[in-house]
Structure 1
């Protein structure tokens, strides 16, 4: 049992025997086909699969879609009085990313972390120095406020973001107002807030229904130029329905536009793929008070009078508006039995998770680019980890009695190198860098994904690569004192053990009593999905039979719900990243909390800023695994890889 295998052909980095099988299984599924897991989801318990349409089932071609939107918005602005010179603007797909904040007071575009600490800031297309950032935002921190901050959450917002920067650049050629909230343009004052409001009006007009919005009219006349036709859409929906699952479509688009897009994707019988179709949903309002619930006449597109009482009386019935609560009552379904899939972190994912307890699947088309850089620029991540280690080493042996701090010459050199590597990493993604991070610090968007998306992937069609009984197993969440302290470290128990010894027999008796109680208590509470006795018992039995006979640690095995072997469980480690690469980046991420600026964080119910558990990041801190076999080499396994062994992708 002392066998070990080299990682990626590197004999110096060996893997204990009990991890070899799990690692080989992890590498079987290609990264672009993966679904990544934040929280446990058992597909066999999902009875209702819901889909958004735009950027989910209908994958728009980028940057063609964004460039066309950008052009229509400029035309609208010129019609309402903006200078004709702006017609020369061209859309730049490399500039904008989702999750940026636009400060409508000062006209700045901000990339922030999950607490509101500013990672990067630009005014127009010019990036601000840290001195300029502190002039506007003391402590390099900004509070998320509806009155001052607009969050660019969706893929539809990418043209917004770039148009904002171009207009700020254009008007900043004129004299700025003393309070720096706008410019004097001729005889009038143009505030950045007014520019923002005009852009929002332009976007609302462009994205209006086909009776109003020019963009949708153009798309319907040339659908193939704007929408990808992925053959997997029919396969996925058919797979779900043949196994008895119900499906529904929930979109903010109007019926005529939805009909045109879905007919292109699925043919004239597109409604037969869904048990219910809801158009004009007005998300996120649909998850709250909602709107009037009416049936749609599929022949004319007109609304029928009255409220539907039996919406599932026929497959493919189409409804307009309504609310989530009305939907739940009519279908008599629990939140835990619903998996909703969409691309909008706020309108689709946050609201359905936060207010209704639905399981959520976030579609992140940008993930293909993120994975390409993650796997292709390994040397940058390793260099960053090395520099972080050098910085930590400068302070490692210092204590409260130390009076001589490391010299500025030494620390300054390391800090400068870290900044240079971080800048190089950012440039690989685009002007504003990665969607999920800036160097070792995770972004606001990443924190929202971690908190509200149970699952996420580059495409919803990745579901076709998993059986309908699949067990998406979430990684074990570790606190810093757990993820950074070696299990082999000898740390005496100075508290409870001494107290028990001092108390004598009564404490010992109490300890025995506690163990007896704990041994008879059900342990299925650790699984979010195990809510009834029969399921808990079957899951417990599955966990027992799944333990490898090789004598490996049971913490590295996993129940195989609904299947055997590796068929029923998922993992969370990029298949194309080696353990050494992931460990290097994971160690770098461990410095995240230390590098965060001061501040209590920002919060807003409407903009859903998250102030808890955001420092874990996309790459988590490492944990050490020992084989427990004499003569076997230790291997540093990142937290994700450790859990991957249990999940068996």
Structure 2
């Protein structure tokens, strides 16, 4: 059964849940539209999927007036960056100041908007089972609705756990989740003191306050210019801020788009990807210093480039992780900084009981790793004697600290050292040569001498695990580049990406799903009107004068209606994105396409979930399957309002 333009328009005009007031369109341009959208070989792709980049225009070229004080972030908590795409869609992708709610208390108006048919499960599958002549007795055992939560493990590439011989975990933000903003403030405050006391930065830096809510993962820091960027999968800069100030559309395009030279890939020196939650500290401190340099009167900062300032921020934050500033405080009060998860120990033991080797691979050094893991293992702060026993190591077949990822995954010449668990002292090893010299069962004998190590490289790890192919290993981590992208691209390891932000992203998506559906319907309507108008333009060249005048009036009406739709789309899209984040919008999306962050998650993370222990909710025999993906032509053909009209090929 096909849907007409009339019914689509009526549904949208009659809907008041998605907008503050219903859109009002003239019916004139719809009266002569085809009843179904026909698909031919020369049919254009939807406006949002053009392969050519047309001119871009800004929703707003001006930015708000601002204070010259370096401590002004609260004044700009609601400032928006321009967020434009093609000229005829420029307002659709701009963010808004105020998030919206949909239905009572911000909840979706009905579960059907997310889960489809909420009736009996047999009814949902009856047609396909009948057409395939399938009798599935176990169907009646299924619940009427499949329940989805952020505790689920989501799949981008099919994976069977019973094909995995070893599973590895990062520690920070993977096995060890942190209390925010308490943990970040340790690094932020420590870095401030180092900048002032060791490097001579102005004393006003000590007054800086940390706000972790300002940032999201997936942004890019342009350290040479002091800019923060959100880009899409095509490396087009969708949003840009200088410090905390939005950059106008024209300026953004002049910097990152309008050039005959090579377009930036954002992997060059000077660009830093915010792939981990640790980098929120770097970003906020750097943005505050950019503001101080621009609007303060400090000769010290005037003499330094943005790039030099960022480098010193990075060095000071990194030093806080290495010199004991953070470790000592976490050891003193672990309850304040670490999150206990009662699923951690059962998950790790479950894998070992099923014959899967379990390893810890972390960039943290032994002293901090021991502190954090002892707390997670005993679920309380332990005394010095208990700390030295390191009973938590019984959860792992192999422990590697100080790994220096991503170098660990690509440099075959890094040396392996054995760690003495009681005091953290190091001993040299001959690595692969020593394992080979031990003869048959060399890896097992090597680990019997001690299973805790520092450094080394993937060759040592795979030899000790006795794996023969990268696909036999799955690595679980929170760092998109160092844990996921590099291990998969270089070694062929399977990967599971940890996203603590996922529960909030899913909650908001669920609350905004009706609005999103309306937005996508309006975009589809614009596309159909545009294609119909374009057909008339072509026919006008062959029509009589009177016919041509009639067509011209129809086109004028379509263009008028298109403007009304565009205005509503602009409002709706701002509301939708601001619900996720008042400045950066939905994390996985830039405009109507994947953000670069979303693109990398989709292409390099075999699995992703909100926390590592969610893996323990699946048995060792679980098979994860992907959801289908469609290209634009298949997507359009799948719509009930389209009809394929190509002639049959003989």
Q: TM-score, normalised by structure 2?
A: 0.69
Secondary structure at the aligned position of 1:433 is classed as: coil
Higher Cα Rg: structure 1 or 2?
2
2:407 is the alignment partner of 1:294 = no
Give unpaired runs (5+ residues) of structure 2.
1-110, 130-138, 379-389, 436-441, 541-551
Secondary structure at the aligned position of 1:31 is classed as: coil
Q: Distance in 2 between matches of 1:344 and 1:23?
A: 39
Equivalent residue for 1:517? none
Equivalent residue for 1:608? none
**Paired residue for 2:249, among 130, 137, 144?**
130
C-alpha deviation, 1:60, in angstroms: 0.9
C-alpha deviation, 1:385, in angstroms: 1.6
Secondary structure at the aligned position of 1:49 is classed as: strand
Secondary structure at the aligned position of 1:278 is classed as: strand
Equivalent residue for 1:329? 463
Secondary structure at the aligned position of 2:600 is classed as: helix
CA 1:411/1:73 → structure 2, altered by over 3 Å: closer, same or farther? farther
Indicate conservation of the 8 Å contact 2:202/2:300, yes or no: no
Indicate conservation of the 8 Å contact 1:311/1:317, yes or no: no
Matches within 5 A, 1:174-573: 174=296, 185=299, 188-208=302-322, 212-267=323-378, 268-290=390-412, 291-308=414-431, 309=435, 310-313=442-445, 314=447, 317-333=451-467, 334-397=469-532, 398-399=534-535, 401=538, 410-430=561-581, 431-486=583-638, 489=643, 491=645, 497-498=649-650
Equivalent residue for 2:126? 17
- CA offset digits 1:254-286 (Å, max 9, x no partner): 111111111111134211111100111110000
Equivalent residue for 1:64? 182
Moved more, 407-416 or 365-374: 407-416
C-alpha deviation, 1:429, in angstroms: 2.2
Indicate conservation of the 8 Å contact 2:357/2:465, yes or no: no
CA 1:81/1:126 → structure 2, altered by over 3 Å: closer, same or farther? same
Secondary structure at the aligned position of 1:122 is classed as: strand
CA 1:71/1:24 → structure 2, altered by over 3 Å: closer, same or farther? farther
Q: Distance in 2 between matches of 1:275 and 1:493?
A: 62
Indicate conservation of the 8 Å contact 2:174/2:478, yes or no: yes
C-alpha deviation, 1:320, in angstroms: 1.1
CA 1:275/1:18 → structure 2, altered by over 3 Å: closer, same or farther? farther
CA 1:413/1:94 → structure 2, altered by over 3 Å: closer, same or farther? farther
Higher relative contact order (CA 8 A, sep 6+): 2
Q: Distance in 2 between matches of 1:295 and 1:337?
A: 25
C-alpha deviation, 1:366, in angstroms: 0.5
Q: Distance in 1 between matches of 2:235 and 2:227?
A: 14
CA 1:490/1:171 → structure 2, altered by over 3 Å: closer, same or farther? closer
C-alpha deviation, 1:330, in angstroms: 3.5
CA 1:325/1:272 → structure 2, altered by over 3 Å: closer, same or farther? same
**What do you get for the CA RMSD once the two structures are aligned?**
2.8
Moved more, 34-43 or 406-415: 406-415
**Paired residue for 2:279, among 134, 140, 157?**
157
CA 1:479/1:146 → structure 2, altered by over 3 Å: closer, same or farther? same
Give unpaired runs (5+ residues) of structure 1.
176-183, 499-649
Secondary structure at the aligned position of 1:32 is classed as: coil
CA 1:26/1:461 → structure 2, altered by over 3 Å: closer, same or farther? farther
Indicate conservation of the 8 Å contact 1:118/1:142, yes or no: no
Q: Distance in 2 between matches of 1:321 and 1:402?
A: 70
Number of matched pairs:
479
Secondary structure at the aligned position of 1:106 is classed as: coil
C-alpha deviation, 1:438, in angstroms: 3.1
CA 1:27/1:142 → structure 2, altered by over 3 Å: closer, same or farther? farther
2:172 is the alignment partner of 1:54 = yes
Equivalent residue for 1:558? none
